[in-house]
Amino acid sequence: MSAGPTLELRGLGFRVGSRPLLEGIDLDLPAGRMTALTGSSGSGKTTLLSVAGGLLEPSEGTATLDGRPTWRGTGDPAPDIAFVLQVYGLVPILSARENVSVALRARGVAPREADARADAALAELHVADLGGRQVEELSGGQLQRVAIARALVVRAPVLLADEPTSELDPTTRGQVMALLRAEAERGAVVVVATHDPDVADACDEHHAMAEGRLLARGRRVAR
Ligand SMILES: Nc1ncnc2c1ncn2[C@@H]1O[C@H](COP(=O)(O)OP(=O)(O)OP(=O)(O)O)[C@@H](O)[C@H]1O
């Protein structure tokens, strides 16, 4: 395993108007580890992933990767951060292959190679046969797998996944967790927000949230 940089959150807070959605988040998200974020609906998991990954500007504190703030002033994530979002963010009129390929093309990969790598990523998620289908024709679980393929295909140093298995059957969920484990093993920071105790158990570290704050210290599991 080649460990990469840690995603460091220091005094991180996020407010909408005067309402705090996140407060006082201090957390190291290390390379080579899978970290679960749990907490009831509305506890702040999605907001934390968004601020940590540079989609939202922190109201207080910092989120840094290798010393550089993840917020780059625009809300566009840095190329070294890949997201699986709850509302997948796929482009409806594009095919599944094009949605995955575009993540690589945006990072400078030539179209032919990007398409080939997109097909391989879709195959890893067992949706190779859907490559040519427009995503608006896909089921919830199929969409989720395309969104995961799009995040995995770029082999980013950081993978932030919001409820990545919520639409999946147990077998497919296990396959996705194995793929996320492989990302951690190649040295990525992998963070998974989840309501599923089995998914949290499959992670190395576990942090619970309530009302925009982290609860007691996370659990570390030796692997
Ligand atoms: N842009 C926004 N403006 C105002 N409030 C927001 C905004 N985004 C989120 N919230 C509120 O922030 C709180 C945290 O939401 P968040 O989506 O981070 O929770 P979550 O733990 O991911 O929930 P779930 O498990 O349902 O996905 C909620 O009370 C939500 O209503």
What is the DSSP code string of 36-101? EEE-STTSSHHHHHHHHTTSS--SEEEEEETTEES--SSSPPPTTEEEE-SS----TTSBHHHHHH
Protein residue whose Cα sits closest to atom 29 of ligand 1: 42
Length of the chain: 223
Per-residue pLDDT of the chain (223 residues; tens, 9 = 90+): 556 789 999 999 999 988 999 999 999 999 999 999 999 999 999 999 999 999 999 999 999 999 999 999 988 888 999 999 887 788 888 999 999 999 999 999 999 999 999 999 999 999 999 999 999 899 999 999 999 999 999 999 999 999 999 989 999 999 999 999 999 999 999 999 999 999 999 999 999 999 999 997 555 554 4
Q: What is the ipTM of this complex?
A: 0.93
142 occurs within a structural domain: yes
Please tell me the residue having the least CA distance from ligand 1 atom 31: 42
Torsion of CA 196, 178, 44, 106, to 10 degrees: -140
Q: How far, in Å, is the centroid of ligand 1 from the Cα of 98?
A: 30
Pairing status of strand 213-214 against strand 7-16: unpaired
Amino acid at residue number 5: P
- What ligand 1 atom has the least distance to the C-alpha of 209? 21
DSSP state of 127: -
Q: Cβ neighbours of residue 57 under 8 Å, at least 6 residues apart?
A: 51, 71, 73, 75
Say how many C-beta atoms besides its own lie within 10 A of residue 15's C-beta. 14
> Closest residue (by CA) to atom 5 of ligand 1?
16
User: Ligand 1 pocket, 21 CB below 6 A?
Assistant: yes
Q: What is the per-residue pLDDT for 219?
A: 55
Mutational pocket test of ligand 1: of 18, 46, 55, the residue with most ligand atoms within 8 Å of the beta carbon: 46
The answer to whether residue 141 sits within a structural domain is: yes
Helix (H) or strand (E) holding 27: strand 19-29
Residue 106 within a domain: yes
Q: Write out the residue range of the structural domain in which residue 108 sits.
A: 7-220
Domain tally for the chain?
Answer: 1
Kindly state whether residue 1 falls inside one of the protein's structural domains: no
CA of 116 to the centre of ligand 1 (A): 37
Token digits for 160?
A: 């932030």
Q: For residue 43, give the ligand 1 atom closest to its CA.
A: 21
User: How far is CA 101 from each of CA 20, 74, 78, rounded to the nearest angstrom?
Assistant: 37, 23, 17
97 alpha carbon to ligand 1 midpoint, in Å? Answer: 31
In a domain, 14, yes or no: yes
Tell me the per-residue pLDDT of 205-220, one tens digit each, with 9 for 90 and over: 999 999 999 997 555 5
2 lies in some domain: no
CATH of the domain at 12: 3.40.50.300
Evaluate whether residue 132 is within a structural domain: yes
pLDDT of residue 4: 78
